[in-house]
Structure 1
Amino acid sequence: MNRANLVLHAKASIDRGSKSFALASKLFAKQTRERVWLLYAWCRECDDLADGQDHGHEMKPVTDPKRIIAMMRMLTNRAMKGEQTGKPAFDAIGVVAQECRLPDRFAHDVIDGFALDAQGWQPQSEDDLYQYCYHVAGAVGCMMAVVMGVPVGDDETLDRACDLGLAFQLSNIARDVAEDARAGRCYLPKNWLTEQDIDPDNILADSHRSALIPIIARLCDLAQQYAASARTGAAQLPFRSRWAVLAAAGIYGDIARGVKQSEGAALDQRIITSKAAKLMWVVKALGQAIGKPKFVDRKTLWNRRASRSLS
């Protein structure tokens, strides 16, 4: 595919895979929007390959996950070197890499997260949780920031971009506790579960429900903290990018707020953000983008630069 066709393929991917991100992405300037779509297509394809899904739906067991991860790395390496792979989603990240000088390390950090899932990994501590969230979402935030024009050496802004990725992933984990558990996965730190006398191998037992609710609320509160930090960093972005990022933060933030307010109902039904609420955030984010953001000190937050291997 040529670039124009890759963009069309990527747009179809984001339209199908994430209505929230698709809406927010329309606020970017044209060139940035296309690059965001291209990067999303690679993220979506890798996620689907790792989880046996189709655009994030209907997770099923993957045969030979190590082979899938190895193939993912090989295709990503080839694409980022400028080679054609014949796989649209991988060729898409190749275009972004060439146009934005995207560092290879962020892409490999993301793939490391998929490798953890392939191993059936579970966090032992809160620090482990943040490290995992960095791999599957924080590193994507850093990549998106580079696409929006943030210099690779601007660690302060990249840290804030990483924080938004952490916020999104913490919200996902809080929303999907039951779905993940039914698929044999658990991203709740074992020490949190131990504190509440919850059996890590049977977290959905009726006897654990009341103890599980404050753990989910804790995740939601953390998501809000990292999202607040990210809003501070958004001030460093061009106006259209700032508007889009703040809209996405608000739309996704509603997931964490909805999960917490449900007081356990999220274990039985999927929490979503209505179309009206999403449009409201587009308008509200415009005002936020024009105004001066509240400064949030992130010294007490997890630091991606202190990251370590979880394998």
Structure 2
Amino acid sequence: MNQPRPLAPSRFVRGTPAAAGGGRDRDRLVEKSRAAIAEGSASFTTASRLFDRTTREQVWMLYAWCRRCDDLADNQDMGGDLGEQKDIEDRVQAIRVLTRRALERQPTADFAFDALGQVASETGITKDMADDVIGGFAMDAGGFDAKGERDMLRYCYHVAGAVGVMMARVMRAPDDSFVYDRACDLGIAFQLANIARDIAQDGAAGRNYLPEQWLEDAGLTAENYLEPENRFALAAVSARLVDLMETYEASARLGAARLRFRQRWAVLAAARIYGAIGRKVRDRGQLAWDSRTRIGKPGKLRHLLAAFGEALVNRPRPPHTWPEYTRGELQPIKGW
């Protein structure tokens, strides 16, 4: 039986040549990434300006990938309202495929994934690092439900602690497990602040990241914690989140002490700004979800100046209590 002839002889068929950033112009990737972070996170934009130019550009490109993955998984635009979630498994699989292509230096037709390919080629970000982040989106797709504190922290590791590890690589942090553990702690601290701030918004979208045990301790359930009459009890749960955030925030400062000055200053500024968000949620109590908690420009400037002095002195105090779980105990999730 005759075999069908190929449309073109194989000697004329060539694979797509591998190139950092999928072959895109680096300056263009940087500019689009800068626009993405400016729109997606005012707090992180402020802190990122403290890095040297190369690190700043690489941070922007990594952020662009994180923001795009988050938007794809949640079917939203720049962190806005969650869209329809019925096809989330397919979207997470698309994230995996595009990320793999980007890390293989292949074009993806999406600037944020090409930006990841560019920054990975420059800093040595690995597929395992990216997979740990994608694991957080897979947890949402699988119907994540936190039974206890460790479950919640495991989720925080995947969606933010693992990003902290990638950021440490971008900042050329010392190749030391202690430093990378503290970078992970900072990411977890950020995520705990986010959870506290967004309890009502997440709940309205059908997502709850609060441990069932914590709700039970406060006399609440997953079904009634958002009821207006339960706001006082919910504020106590939120305060518990912020207390835990402060433990991870204090631990992270010890890792920042081993970074170069400008990297240290940027990290400490981000820690102060996100920490202030968490503490403001705690201070607002049951009114915390009547409007989105923000830190205004004057407040951010004060935190930038305070972080400068802290980075200059560089004598962080050890936390009163160390985080209960190590990075190794929180990674990775298998089967999500």
In the TM superposition, residue 269 of structure 1 has moved relative to its aligned partner by 1.5
Q: Map 1:54-203 onto structure 2 (within 5 A).
A: 54-151=77-174, 153-203=175-225
> Any conservation in 2 of the 1:181–1:203 contact (CA below 8 Å)?
no
Structure 1: runs of 5+ lacking an equivalent: none
Verify: 1:251 aligned to 2:269, yes or no: no
Instruction: Pick one of 21, 31, 35 that aligns with 2:44.
Output: 21
Cα distance, 1:154 vs. partner?
1.3
Determine if the alignment matches structure 1 residue 293 to structure 2 residue 293.
no
Aligned mates of 2:47, 2:322 — CA distance in 1: 29
Give the Cα separation in 2 of the matches to 1:166 and 1:272.
Answer: 19
Give 2:302's aligned amino acid.
Answer: M
Alignment-derived partner of residue 232 in structure 2: 210
- Superposed, 1:235-246 pairs within 5 Å as 235-246=257-268
Query: After TM superposition, what 4+ stretches of structure 1 lie above 3 angstroms from structure 2?
Result: 297-301
What displacement does 1:208 show?
2.2
Aligned counterparts of 2:237 and 2:69: Cα–Cα separation in 1: 29
Amino acid at match of 2:153: Y
Whether the 8 Å CA contact 2:186–2:248 is kept in 1: the answer is yes
Point out the structure with max Rg over C-alpha: 2
Native 8 Å contact 2:248 2:322 kept in 1: no
Deviation at 1:160, TM superposition (A): 0.4
Q: CA deviation at 1:300?
A: 4.4
Taking only the aligned residue pairs, the percentage that are identical comes to 48
**TM-score w.r.t. structure 1 length?**
0.96
Tell me how far 1:58 sits from its aligned partner: 2.0
Aligned to 2:253: 231
Give the Å deviation of 1:270.
1.0
Give 1:52 deviation, angstroms: 1.4
Could you tell me how far 1:119 is from its partner in structure 2?
2.2
Deviation at 1:292, TM superposition (A): 2.3
Say whether the 8 Å CA contact 2:192–2:241 is kept in structure 1. Answer: yes
Q: Which amino acid aligns with 2:303?
A: W
Query: Would you say the 8 A contact 1:53–1:60 is kept in 2?
Result: yes
Matched with 1:306 is: 329
- Secondary structure of residue in 1 paired with 2:288: helix
**Aligned equivalents of 1:159, 1:300: Cα separation in 2:** 11
Query: Following the alignment from structure 2 to structure 1, what is the Cα–Cα distance between the partners of residues 213 and 315?
Result: 35
**Root-mean-square deviation (CA), in Å?**
1.3
Matches within 5 A, 1:267-286: 267-286=289-308
Partner of 2:33: 10
Measured in 2, the distance between the counterparts of 1:246 and 1:301 equals: 22
How far the C-alpha of 1:127 sits from its partner, in A, is 0.5
The 1:107–1:278 alpha-carbon spacing in structure 2 relative to 1, beyond 3 Å, is: same
Letter in 1 for 2:140: D
